[in-house]
Chains A and B, each alone.
Chain A
Amino acid sequence: MVALLMAAPLVAGCASPAWDDADYGSKAGATAEAAASSVALVRLAVENEARLTRPYLQTLLTETATELGGVDSQFGAVQPPSQAAVAVRAEITGLTSEAAERVRALLNEVRLREIRDPGKAAADLAALGDRLRAFAGEQPS
């Protein structure tokens, strides 16, 4: 709930109607940047998971998962202006849902006990973050 509200400005910034390909692309780029930022933050927390408290991790991950999920569904709702844009949309929604999925999985692990393999989780998140940044770099700004 909290995170949904906090994501509201982010969503509002990304989901206003897009007119042309360049515009659509830059919005997709901004969305990817925001998602990469969230993923990097989760990675920081996961790397240091042993030193943080459980309620804190839980709150932080819930917040991020909702934020990522919100961005994903909101962006999917914008009509792409062209065939090329459809491909862009497929790529960005694929990446953000993967991110949301991963964070949700981590959240479940925290809820149950603790993160099983923080090292691997962090590495996966780092790789995903790199892909998001690379995607953002390809888009017109």
Chain B
Amino acid sequence: MKRFLAVTLGILTAIGGFVDIGDLVANALVGSRFGLSLAWVVVVGVVGICLFAEMAGRVAAVSGRPVFDLVRERLGPRAGLLNLAASFGINLLTLAAEIGGAALALELATGIDYLLWVPAVGLVAWLVMWRVRFETMERVFGLAGLALVVFLVAFFALDPDYGELGRQLTHNPSDDGAATYWYYAVALLGAAMTPYEVFFFSSGGVEERWTRRDLGVMRANVFVGFPLGGLLSIAIAACAATVFLPQMIEVGTLGQMVLPAGLAFGQIGLALVIFGVFAATFGATLETALSSGYSISQYFGWQWGKYVRPREAARFHATLLVSTIVAVALILTTIDPIKVTEYSLVLSAAALPLTYLPVLMIANDPDYMGDRVNGRLSNTLGTLYMILLLLVAVAAIPLMLATKAGQ
């Protein structure tokens, strides 16, 4: 059990990346439109995030330096500031969306309008960040998010047409243009590799005081957490491909995307999936809020972290408080939480290469790493992914404009 609990950081991190509010709906939408023909993107994303999270985790364990320290150190103050602005923007927009998502889950459970839940969700999230120990937080929300496994079980219970789904792996069943297909490919890859995952993961490693001896634990986190996140994301798409695609239904809201679990297991399934959605979005709320605090503190060199008392990390906690208030205000303007995550894709495009390049460089720097520098495999794959991320960064905005964000 203790062994299992040790990997909750990886699980919580992956949930925030793969099945947060934007991705819950995006995965279902993709499944209902393109079947499983985009599943390969999730696999590519899982390999990429495992690769870079492992590097970032290794740097954090060996040298004690989290990712944004590396960004500032290798890119210098100017490019570092550009990355900070983009990352902070993504974090704030995503934070707003996640708060809205958790509130939407509560609306599905109670029937009470989500806007009434928004301030409560914001307040509870802040209280958790203010008072709850990091380990406790990561265990509770990492494990609760696992309720989404109900999608995987539901998929098998729905008695899918395996032959058809298998065919979709290589054939796009949709008659939409190629631009739309590639827009969603870029969006899914961007979601899988969002920078706040490595900010959170490496800072979490420092919060847990990882050392060289914890490299095994760190790797277990990476290689359990992220593939699990990817699996959930494919399961959601597969459910949608089974239930919605044959009926030509296009899913666009949270209420619609949880339906397959209800069809498979009735009220219990529905209750479980809504609980899972709430846990995942609330976990992502914590992840994005903390990441905003981590990134800004690490850029400016402030004391950060939950491993010290709040008063010893005053500027860090002030950032958390202000970010949460701004995010709540943003979502109370009745802006659509799911649309918001699409705009953060634009900011992601700039932040992706600017985040992963310094990680790749420092994972090779013996000053930091001693004998734990990258091996040949990490470097080869790392270089390939850098090229891929540059392509994504270039393609993201034109694709978004050309397809009107995937319509």
Contacts and interface: CB of A to CB of B under 8 A. Distances in A.
User: Direct contact between A and B in the complex (CB less than 8 angstroms)?
Assistant: yes
A2 B109 contact: no
Interface stretch (A8-16, A73-81, A83-91, A116-124): A8-16
Interface residues of A, number: 29
Given A13-B404, A59-B255, A6 B338 contact: yes
B248 A40 contact: yes
Contacts of B258: 56
Interface in B33-69: none
A59 B262 CA distance: 14
Interface in B93-118: 104, 107-111, 113-115
B243 A44 contact: yes
A9 B334 contact: no
B contacts with A: majority SS: helix
Given A6-B338, A48-B263, A53-B267, A58 B111 contact: yes
A52 B334 contact: no
A56 B270 contact: yes
A37 B249 contact: yes
Interface string B313-340: 0000000000000000000001110110
A59 B259 CA distance: 12
Given A8-B336, A41-B259, A44-B247, A59 B108 contact: yes
B114 A2 contact: yes
A113 interface: no
Contact of B405 (A9, A41, A60): A9
Contacts of A52: 262, 266-267, 270
Contacts of A51: 262-263, 266-267
Interface in B231-252: 243-244, 247-252
Nearest to B263: A48
A96 to B, nearest CB: 16
A33 B247 CA distance: 12
B249 A44 contact: yes
B407 A13 contact: yes
Nearest to B111: A55
B271 interface: yes
B256 interface: yes
Given A9-B405, A9-B407, A3 B253 contact: yes
B334 A1 contact: yes
B249 A2 contact: no
Given A2-B104, A8-B336, A37-B248, A54 B262 contact: no
A60 B256 contact: yes
A63 interface: yes
Contacts of B115: 1
Contact of A5 (B107, B255, B270, B335): B335
Given A1-B115, A1-B334, A51-B266, A9 B110 contact: no
B263 A5 contact: no
A92 interface: no
A20 to B, nearest CB: 20
6 closest residue pairs by CB, A with B:
A55-B111, A51-B266, A5-B336, A60-B255, A37-B250, A40-B247
Interface of B: 104, 107-111, 113-115, 243-244, 247-253, 255-256, 258-259, 262-263, 266-267, 270-271, 274, 334-336, 338-339, 404-405, 407
Interface of A: 1-3, 5-6, 8-10, 13, 33-34, 36-37, 40-41, 44-45, 48, 51-56, 58-60, 63, 133
Given A53-B271, A56-B108, 15 more contacts: A2-B107, A3-B253, A5-B339, A6-B252, A33-B248, A34-B250, A40-B247, A41-B244, A41-B247, A52-B262, A52-B266, A52-B267, A53-B270, A55-B108, A55-B110
20 contacts: A2-B104, A5-B334, A6-B253, A10-B252, A13-B407, A34-B250, A40-B247, A44-B243, A44-B259, A48-B262, A51-B262, A51-B266, A55-B108, A55-B110, A56-B108, A56-B255, A56-B274, A59-B107, A59-B255, A60-B256
